Structure 1
């Protein structure tokens, strides 16, 4: 039975770095993800004047509840959306002038709902080129707090950034949310804030965050459920079996719900206290599924849909169009390259299995999730290659080696 050790969660590592930097005391993060995104976040903290000590298995962060030690800083956020959205919000709670920029890919991704909310809270923030996008400069004088309205229909990261900011304000925050996508990611944030000593209450569409700051702790990082989806999908399409330790009934990440999609398609799934196992049965049924809350696994399902016995329709995934690339169209384009019939709409994709797909070069669009998803397709389709296989370093630098080892065992 292949057991796959998945690296730590990117989402949890990024939140933990913010919380550790904001907490009173020294926090130890156990088994954090070491990838381009999380290293970029840590480097950003260093640029802002935080102390971050890194060893292979843990990171230690000296928290500064009063905000960055540096009075001025230039921070390069690389490709990381959490870095690009969380660090300006963290810096706003301090006192100084901080400039943030990012890669061309990240510059294209939207920030406006978050920066509009920060301005509503009195933050002096200026977009230097295109409104609602990087680069931007924050002239920070602390945040008083109060009430703010937020549209998080494009990304739950906007809400997470404000939730994380709340305890660092003088009065706390009441955040009224008009729209929200990827709710499980917000649940991760709330659970992690609780672990650092802050309890957020929810009143309908309002989130109420008390002031008072965070306390330092030792925090273990669970494996990345989005990354695990490729290995679970590999079991389903190959008729093999894969177990991922560290992800079980108590997992924080909603993306573990992808295994329930595989169960609906015919795979056998066992979720234990601290591990999850998926077994392929030789059957993959078509289905219609709403993936609004687990949209990062949409490409995984799209990549195995050609092996289903009937059409696979994925709905309510409009937010995937504003990720590292337009993932909905990227999946459609690559499936067509494989010879698969695909239809798309504003927030859906429908995949029609037919003849066995043919090998082709997958266009990655610089998106790690496109490459990792179609690597699963390659288990059944010879001749698949990638124009940019190295983009997996964003979240899993060793993916190709680990997946190749699994292929050999399966």
Structure 2
């Protein structure tokens, strides 16, 4: 039975770095993800004057509830959406002038709902080029708090950033949300804030965060559920079996729900207290599934859909069009290049099994999830290659080696 050691969660590592930086005391993060995104986040904290000590298995962060230790900083956020959205929000609680820029890929991704909400809270924030996009400069003088309205229909990260800011404000925050996608990611945020000493309450569409700050702690990072999806899908596709330790009944990450999709398609799934196992049965059934809350795993499902016994329709995934690339169209384009019939709409994709897919070079658009998803397709389709295989360094630098080892065992 192949057991796969999945690196720490990107989402949890990024949130933990923010919370540790904001907490009173020294926080130890156990088994954080070491990838381009998280290294970029840690580097950004260092540029802002926070001390981040690193050992092979843990990071220690000296918290500063009063905000950045420097009065001026220029921070490059690389490709990281959490870095590019969370760090300006963290800096706003301090006092100084902080400029943030990012890669061309990240510059294209939207930011306006968050920066509009920060402005509504009195933050002096200016976009240098296109409104709602990086680069931007924050002239920080603390945040009083109060009530604010937010549209989080494009990304739950906007809400997460504001919730984590709440305890650093003078009065706390009440965030009224008009639309919200990827709710499980918000639940990760509130659970982690609780571990750092802050209780968020929800009243209908309002999220209420008290002032008072965070307390430092030792925080273990669980394996990345989105990354696990490729290994679970590999088992379902090949008739093999894969177990991921560290992800079980108490997991924070909603993307573990992808195994329920595999179960509906016919795979055997066992979720234990501290591990999850998926067994392929030789059959993949077609289905229609709403993936609004687990949209990062949409490409994983799309990549195995051609091997189902009927059409696979994935709905309510409009937000995948504003990720590292337009993931919905990237999946459709690559599947069509393999000879698969695909239909798309504003927020859905439908994939029709037919003749055996043909090998092709996958257009990755620099998106790590496109590479890792179609690596699963390559288990059944000879001749799959990638125009940028190295972009997996964003979240899993050792992916190709780990996946090759799994392929040999399957």
TM-score, normalisation: structure 1: 1.00
Measure, in 2, the Cα distance between the counterparts of 1:70 and 1:300. Answer: 42
Measure, in 2, the Cα distance between the counterparts of 1:261 and 1:357. Answer: 22
Secondary structure of 1:357's match?
coil
For structure 2, which runs of at least 5 residues remain unmatched after alignment?
A: none
Measure, in 1, the Cα distance between the counterparts of 2:160 and 2:35. Answer: 21
Shift of 1:67: 0.1
Measure, in 1, the Cα distance between the counterparts of 2:396 and 2:86. Answer: 21
Secondary structure of 1:299's match?
helix
Q: How does 1:4-403 map to 2 (within 5 A)?
A: 4-403=4-403
Shift of 1:169: 0.1
Shift of 1:102: 0.0
Shift of 1:258: 0.1
List per-residue Cα deviations over 1:174-202 (Å, max 9, x = no partner). 00000000000000000000000000011
TM-score, normalisation: structure 2: 1.00
List per-residue Cα deviations over 1:261-295 (Å, max 9, x = no partner). 00000000000000000000000000000000000
Shift of 1:206: 0.2
Measure, in 1, the Cα distance between the counterparts of 2:364 and 2:35. Answer: 18
Shift of 1:104: 0.1
Measure, in 2, the Cα distance between the counterparts of 1:163 and 1:232. Answer: 32
List per-residue Cα deviations over 1:339-360 (Å, max 9, x = no partner). 1000000000000000110000
Secondary structure of 1:276's match?
strand
Secondary structure of 2:250's match?
coil
Measure, in 1, the Cα distance between the counterparts of 2:39 and 2:194. Answer: 25
Shift of 1:80: 0.1
Secondary structure of 1:140's match?
strand
Shift of 1:10: 0.1
Measure, in 2, the Cα distance between the counterparts of 1:292 and 1:402. Answer: 29
Measure, in 1, the Cα distance between the counterparts of 2:371 and 2:306. Answer: 16
Shift of 1:335: 0.2
List per-residue Cα deviations over 1:207-251 (Å, max 9, x = no partner). 000000000000000000000000000000000000000000000
Alignment size in residue pairs: 410
Shift of 1:372: 0.1
Measure, in 2, the Cα distance between the counterparts of 1:338 and 1:394. Answer: 26
List per-residue Cα deviations over 1:90-137 (Å, max 9, x = no partner). 000000000000000000000000000000000000000000000000
Measure, in 1, the Cα distance between the counterparts of 2:288 and 2:42. Answer: 40
Measure, in 2, the Cα distance between the counterparts of 1:350 and 1:75. Answer: 41
Measure, in 1, the Cα distance between the counterparts of 2:363 and 2:31. Answer: 32
Calculate the aligned-residue CA RMSD, in Å. 0.2
Secondary structure of 2:115's match?
helix
Measure, in 2, the Cα distance between the counterparts of 1:79 and 1:187. Answer: 24
Secondary structure of 1:119's match?
helix
- Runs of 4+ aligned structure 1 residues displaced above 3 Å come to none
Measure, in 2, the Cα distance between the counterparts of 1:364 and 1:357. Answer: 18
Shift of 1:60: 0.1
List per-residue Cα deviations over 1:64-99 (Å, max 9, x = no partner). 000000100000000000000000000000000000
Measure, in 2, the Cα distance between the counterparts of 1:328 and 1:252. Answer: 26
Secondary structure of 1:373's match?
helix
Shift of 1:47: 0.2
List per-residue Cα deviations over 1:117-159 (Å, max 9, x = no partner). 0000000000000000000000000000000000000000000
List per-residue Cα deviations over 1:327-379 (Å, max 9, x = no partner). 00000000001110000000000000001100000000000000000000000
List per-residue Cα deviations over 1:41-78 (Å, max 9, x = no partner). 00000000000001110000000000000100000000
Shift of 1:160: 0.1
Measure, in 1, the Cα distance between the counterparts of 2:234 and 2:177. Answer: 37
Secondary structure of 2:43's match?
helix
Measure, in 2, the Cα distance between the counterparts of 1:337 and 1:7. Answer: 32
For structure 1, which runs of at least 5 residues remain unmatched after alignment?
A: none
Measure, in 1, the Cα distance between the counterparts of 2:267 and 2:339. Answer: 25
Measure, in 2, the Cα distance between the counterparts of 1:35 and 1:271. Answer: 27
